[in-house]
Structure 1
């Protein structure tokens, strides 16, 4: 029974990957706005109905958006060791998602396509905001912070930003691996990006 469940899960992952690969390839060839769900399904050798079992629309397929990433991240937040700092937990989560996104070798090409397409950028922004909202709620609960606390939201948002910045910078500095850039970003977040920050002092000096 366990083996059968494992095979079924592996088949689902293969189908999702095939649809995401077909969606990206067709979007690169024709442009994201010109690709149809029917074309993606046909290229992946599945039915349109099967496509909608995995993605709500073509943009999520091109983005290779996988709801299991969020589920795994929420579980990681809930089960993190008691002594692990919130930013450390987010580091583990981001690296796990990055590992999965890198597995098809198309992370850079997908990133370039997203940045050149308003519709893809919009969908990425919408889904990222929703993910961050759920992750923030889970982190806030774990930290025991009140509903209006900014720290959990800032940690989650900064972790996502560090990932986006690393992918973007890798395009201009391809000799620097994304993971190295990401780790540097997290180190900066941990230490503080600007220890001399102090607008109140600056304003008093000019009053």
Structure 2
């Protein structure tokens, strides 16, 4: 990759991140149903057209953080030893990923709570999770040397993501009782018994 290409990619990533942060900031201030693409673009200091180059709509911008975190998690799964069983690889990757994140940011927690309880975002949230399941399912299928359309790979990916989501919900309800990593580790071990 040339220096110019690398700089261009970093600028694109910075613009995407600025749009995401602007969307979340406005959603926190005004509620997700009251913000517009134009307002997000203005808040980020870019044109409406620039917004459209990065996101199809405000919902996609709002859930960009979830997609980005899942992408990093999938990279961790790919880095696991090839012979490792799928659930073991997924669990180890998640523990490493969340261990490196450390304590979850209180601002991110507030944002997550807001986005998860808004009915107007339910469809976008479901679509985001479906996309993440598909991407992770392909990785699991490759690890199992299966066709990605096989049900077991899809089931493992969906169960893994559901386990992380349930862990987050449980932890958000009682954050002082344990760290998110501890809750997720216990949930992954419990759920993994069915995939051993």
Q: TM-score, normalised by structure 1?
A: 0.76
Encode CA deviations 1:56-102: one digit per residue, 9 max, x unaligned. 100111222576666666666666422222113323168648968x8
Change (3 A) 1:24 1:71: closer
| Cross-structure match for 1:139 | 140
Is 1:190 equivalent to 2:196 in the alignment?
Answer: no
Change (3 A) 1:160 1:147: closer
Change (3 A) 1:164 1:67: closer
Q: Where do 1:105-116 residues align within 5 Å?
A: 106-116=107-117
Contact 1:28–1:113 (CA under 8 A) maintained in structure 2: yes
Q: Give the CA deviation at 1:125.
A: 0.7
| Cross-structure match for 1:4 | 4
| Cross-structure match for 1:88 | 88
Is 1:163 equivalent to 2:164 in the alignment?
Answer: yes
Question: Which stretches in structure 1 are left out of the alignment for 5+ residues?
Answer: 194-207
CA RMSD of aligned residues (A): 3.1
Contact 1:163–1:182 (CA under 8 A) maintained in structure 2: yes
Look at both structures and tell me which one has the larger radius of gyration over its CA atoms: 1
Three-state SS of the structure 2 residue aligned to 1:156 is helix
Contact 2:76–2:97 (CA under 8 A) maintained in structure 1: no
Q: Where do 1:2-41 residues align within 5 Å?
A: 2-41=2-41
- Greater displacement, 136-145 / 157-166: 136-145
Q: TM-score, normalised by structure 2?
A: 0.80
Change (3 A) 1:168 1:85: same
Is 1:124 equivalent to 2:125 in the alignment?
Answer: yes
- Cα distance in 1 for residues equivalent to 2:143 and 2:157: 13
Change (3 A) 1:8 1:96: farther
- Cα distance in 1 for residues equivalent to 2:15 and 2:34: 22
Change (3 A) 1:4 1:44: same
Contact 1:77–1:142 (CA under 8 A) maintained in structure 2: no
Change (3 A) 1:180 1:18: same
- Cα distance in 1 for residues equivalent to 2:90 and 2:164: 11
Q: Give the CA deviation at 1:170.
A: 1.9
